[in-house]
Amino acid sequence: MVSTARHVLSLYAALFLMICPTALRAEHNVLLPAPQRVQYGDGSLSLSGVSIALPTEFSAEDQFAADTLVNGLRSLTGHDVPLAPTLTGPRVVLRRTGAVDALPGKDDKPGPESRESYHLVVHASGAEITARSSAGLYYGVQTFLQLVEKQSSEAQVPAVTIEDWPTLAYRGVMMDLSHGPLPTESEVKRQIDFLARWKGNQYYFYSELSIELKGYPVINPNGRYSQNEVSRIIAYARERHVDVVPCLEFYGHLHDLFRLERYADLAPLTHGTEINPTKPRMQQLLTDWAHQMAALFPSPWFHVGMDEPWELERAGSSAAGGVDPEKLYVDHLKRISELLQQDGKRVLFWADVASGANLFDRYPKLISDLPRGVVPVPWHYHAEKDFTPMLAPFRKANIPEIIGTGIWGWQSITPDFELTFTNIDGFLRDGKKNGTLGIVNTNWGDDAEVLYRMTLPGIAYGAIASWQDKPVDRERFFENYCSRLYDSRTAPEAAAALHSLSKAQQSIQAALGSDNMLRLWDEPFAGGSVERYRSHVEDLRRARLDAEEAQDHLYAAMEASHDSYSLPSLLLGARLIDYAGMKFLYAVEIADVLTKVNSSSAREDVSFWLGTQAADRNHGRMGDLMDTITELRDIYRTMWLVEYTPYRLGSVLGRFDAEFEYWRKLQARTWEAERTYKPGSAVPSLEVLIH
């Protein structure tokens, strides 16, 4: 009886650990994404003297997984780990039981039997990672590296059994490589490395016309990737089990074409943004481009855009001879999807449901008219209590879909992580309920000023949330994320910095709005703006205080780790928020200073208020702003060229230069007013000084 009771209790304990894998995990590393089943045992595997073993027959993909493990362990332990199965001593054995299956296919399924599932066992005498495919093997390696506790000669891995698989088959991020800066080839590869680290498996390469098209040399000659560069990126991503999916625009967002005079007449509005599908020459161009891109990208998936057709109703229909807008749109989607299906592609498109041009809200019949086989991507980047209305119409029509979430960083000084995480959590929750195939976590650069390295936590969050079954621990995400990304000295400082930076971003948004990167460059005294800023003085102060707190932590983190990838751009972001707070607080203070003097003021009072307080040559408010913006300009330029090519850099730096010149002119005019003032003469008003 006692033995039976113990056996039953043991079974209950094992079941409890499978259901609640965090029960005994408190003393061990947090794993991201959280594996589906984790059961820790007694003891640990010392990594001192460990070797890596592959079977006698292995593929290049298996070799890459083994090399990833070797390099990762070398970094963590400080010594070489041999890849030699004949050695005695503890081994980490990698074993693939099925086909290579390196990349997602057209009809992948999630779950325990999925292509990407893996089984990991660690005990005191060794470890084994078993997977059906090379992708599963690679993901098992990523988890094994996260398990490593301590470092150097004391490095060890706890005894554990893990069974893991993805909740969604397709876990992608979309990088905007058109609206703003052009990341270098090496930077795109870093993005892919980062995505793969969190078990993401699709990289959507968003291009309006930023990929070389053979036969069209005048289209964006300085703002595009060569086809050779794209091919190298695709090959690099394949090694990391990431499928590079073309995400193009085959309806709207094509102003880069129509601004050229030779193509201007192919849009409904001359020099417009959308195609006129009834133009034979336009269809010839699209056919050529589609075939070129289908040949360039081996992915079985192909995204054709089709979002935000703003000209469709205003000019497109009339330019097409009065064709009904709905018919014009869906006929073109049918034409382009059939073309790509002949090339073996599964076609996706942006579905404007409660977003963009709201096309599916205004034309609900579109759903039943969609061409067979296309996969809509309803997209929405705000926080909603329920995303089901954007998904249910497709589910009702038995049309599979993929959801489009957003990393909110395209018009803000630093990313709005609160909104980003809320959007991903809510859309994924309802997407899973409605049977979504996967996620495209979009990362836009609409303001052309975003530094994508600031958005890394959002990229990680989307990949983690779409792999694991349970929601991400929002309250502890920054701590958990940083613990997996940095060493033990750096992680607490980096996490504290992200918390402070997130709070600073919320405060600057409260003062300036969600498009605060654009508002940063506003003239502060125009059209009654001062009173608006006056009503947000506490928000501006709080933004500065939290941004300065973030800077403290970032300096400490950078000193501890010498990180040159993920931390410097966050430091720049914190300093830009600090500048924004300073600028608009100073604007209120300068406006108040000018009310202190008038024609009856004493000469020394005018000198004090206009000279010392407003425009002092050494320590005045205007001088502070000029000093700060010129310093930030140089840092921003450096950060840009670390990530991007010089394309569009001049346009962005022009905003920094204009900002400096604004304050320089105002300072000079204020000096002149102070210098020429005589008792009884008028003191120029603020309106006079700024014009």
Segment 539-580, tens digit of pLDDT: 999 999 999 999 999 999 999 998 999 999 999 999 999 999
Alpha-carbon distances, residue 19 vs 7, 23, 38, 425, 491 (angstroms): 18, 9, 9, 21, 29
CATH code at 645?
1.20.120
List the end-to-end C-alpha distance of the chain, in Å, as a whole number.
94
pLDDT confidence band for 245 (50 / 70 / 90) = very high
Please give the Cα distance from 177 to 296 (Å, whole number). Answer: 17
The continuous run of DSSP H or E covering 553 comes out as helix 537-561
Domain presence at residue 479: no
Give the single-character DSSP code of 154: G
pLDDT for the residue numbered 24: 43
Domain presence at residue 35: no
pLDDT confidence band for 87 (50 / 70 / 90) = low
- pLDDT of 120 strictly over 80: yes
Q: Which of 122, 149, 164 is the last residue of a domain?
A: 164
Measured on CA atoms in the order 495, 497, 500, 505, is the torsion positive or negative?
Answer: negative
- Among the ranges given (78-87, 329-338, 489-498, 638-647), the one the predictor scored with the smallest mean pLDDT: 78-87
Which amino acid belongs to residue 491?
Answer: A
Alpha-carbon distances, residue 458 vs 380, 387, 587 (angstroms): 15, 20, 33
* Residue 540 contacts residue 511 (beta carbons within 8 Å): yes
Same domain, 494 and 455: no
Which amino acid belongs to residue 502?
Answer: S
Using a pLDDT cut of 70, give the percent of the chain over it: 96
Taking Cα atoms as reference points, which of 103, 105, 147 lies closest to residue 123? 147
* Residue 498 contacts residue 478 (beta carbons within 8 Å): yes
CATH code at 437?
3.20.20.80
Segment 348-398, tens digit of pLDDT: 999 999 999 999 999 999 999 999 999 999 999 999 999 999 999 999 999
Taking Cα atoms as reference points, which of 278, 298, 211 lies closest to residue 249? 211
CATH code at 105?
3.30.379.10
Same domain, 190 and 141: no
Q: Is 452 exposed, middle or buried (0-12, 13-18, 19+ CB in 10 A)?
A: buried
pLDDT for the residue numbered 56: 82
Same domain, 135 and 186: no
Residue 183, SS3 per DSSP: strand
- pLDDT of 55 strictly over 90: no
Please give the Cα distance from 557 to 581 (Å, whole number). Answer: 24
Same domain, 175 and 156: no
Q: Which two tokens stand for residue 282?
A: 């336009």
Please give the Cα distance from 142 to 503 (Å, whole number). Answer: 31
- With tokens 């040399």, the residue in question is 217
Q: Which of 138, 164, 190 is the last residue of a domain?
A: 164
* Residue 92 contacts residue 50 (beta carbons within 8 Å): yes
Which amino acid belongs to residue 146?
Answer: Q
Q: Which two tokens stand for residue 9?
A: 């209790």
Which amino acid belongs to residue 263?
Answer: Y
Domain presence at residue 233: yes
pLDDT for the residue numbered 6: 40
* Residue 520 contacts residue 413 (beta carbons within 8 Å): yes
Same domain, 375 and 515: no
Mean local confidence (pLDDT), 604-632: 93
Q: Which two tokens stand for residue 330?
A: 């869906």
Domain presence at residue 179: yes
Domain presence at residue 204: yes
Please give the Cα distance from 557 to 352 (Å, whole number). Answer: 42
Q: Which two tokens stand for residue 646?
A: 């010089």
In terms of DSSP H, where are the helices of 513-620?
A: 516-519, 529-534, 537-561, 568-593, 603-606
The continuous run of DSSP H or E covering 176 comes out as strand 170-176
Give the single-character DSSP code of 83: B
Q: Which residues of 395-407 are buried (b: 16+ CB within 10 A; e: fewer)?
A: eeeebbbbbbbbb
Neighbouring CB atoms inside 10 A of 297's CB total 22
Mean local confidence (pLDDT), 54-61: 91
Please give the Cα distance from 420 to 407 (Å, whole number). Answer: 5
pLDDT for the residue numbered 85: 60
Segment 285-312, tens digit of pLDDT: 999 999 999 999 999 999 999 999 999 9
Mean local confidence (pLDDT), 122-147: 97
- Among the ranges given (84-93, 122-131, 263-272, 572-581), the one the predictor scored with the smallest mean pLDDT: 84-93
Which amino acid belongs to residue 173?
Answer: V
If one compares 687 and 304, the residue with the highest pLDDT of the two is 304
In terms of DSSP H, where are the helices of 358-489?
A: 359-362, 366-369, 388-396, 417-433, 456-467, 477-485
Domain presence at residue 608: yes
Q: Which of 135, 164, 193 is the last residue of a domain?
A: 164
Same domain, 362 and 273: yes
Alpha-carbon distances, residue 530 vs 513, 587, 672 (angstroms): 15, 7, 23
Which amino acid belongs to residue 546?
Answer: D
pLDDT confidence band for 15 (50 / 70 / 90) = very low
Same domain, 113 and 201: no
Same domain, 126 and 181: no
Taking Cα atoms as reference points, which of 322, 300, 368, 379 lies closest to residue 103? 300
Phi/psi for 10 (5° steps) reads: -65, -40
Would you give the distance in Å from CA 629 to the centre of its chain?
A: 26
**Domain range spanning residue 657?**
490-689
Give the single-character DSSP code of 333: H
Q: Is 691 exposed, middle or buried (0-12, 13-18, 19+ CB in 10 A)?
A: exposed
Please give the Cα distance from 633 to 110 (Å, whole number). Answer: 47
Q: Work out the angle between the directed axes of helices 568-593 and 537-561 (0-180°, nearest 10).
A: 150
Domain presence at residue 5: no
126 DSSP β-pair partners:
91, 123
Cis peptide, bond prior to residue 492, ω within 30 of zero = no
- pLDDT of 256 strictly over 60: yes
Q: Max alpha carbon distance in the chain (Å)? A: 106
pLDDT for the residue numbered 26: 53
Q: Which two tokens stand for residue 601?
A: 């003021």
Same domain, 588 and 680: yes
Indicate the Cα dihedral angle 80, 83, 89, 94, nearest 10°.
Answer: 120
Give the single-character DSSP code of 324: -
Sheet holding 126-131, edge to edge: 37-46, 156-164, 118-123, 126-131, 91-96, 51-53
Same domain, 462 and 512: no
Phi/psi for 145 (5° steps) reads: -65, -35
Angle made by CA atoms 665, 670, 673, in degrees to the nearest 5: 130
Which amino acid belongs to residue 480?
Answer: N
Please give the Cα distance from 119 to 165 (Å, whole number). Answer: 9
pLDDT for the residue numbered 690: 85
Same domain, 446 and 511: no
pLDDT for the residue numbered 282: 97
Please give the Cα distance from 112 to 76 (Å, whole number). Answer: 30
pLDDT for the residue numbered 9: 37
Domain count, the chain: 3
Alpha-carbon distances, residue 316 vs 2, 269, 276 (angstroms): 81, 8, 7
Residue 45, SS3 per DSSP: strand
Domain presence at residue 34: no
Same domain, 609 and 634: yes
* Residue 491 contacts residue 467 (beta carbons within 8 Å): no
pLDDT for the residue numbered 79: 87
* Residue 451 contacts residue 410 (beta carbons within 8 Å): no
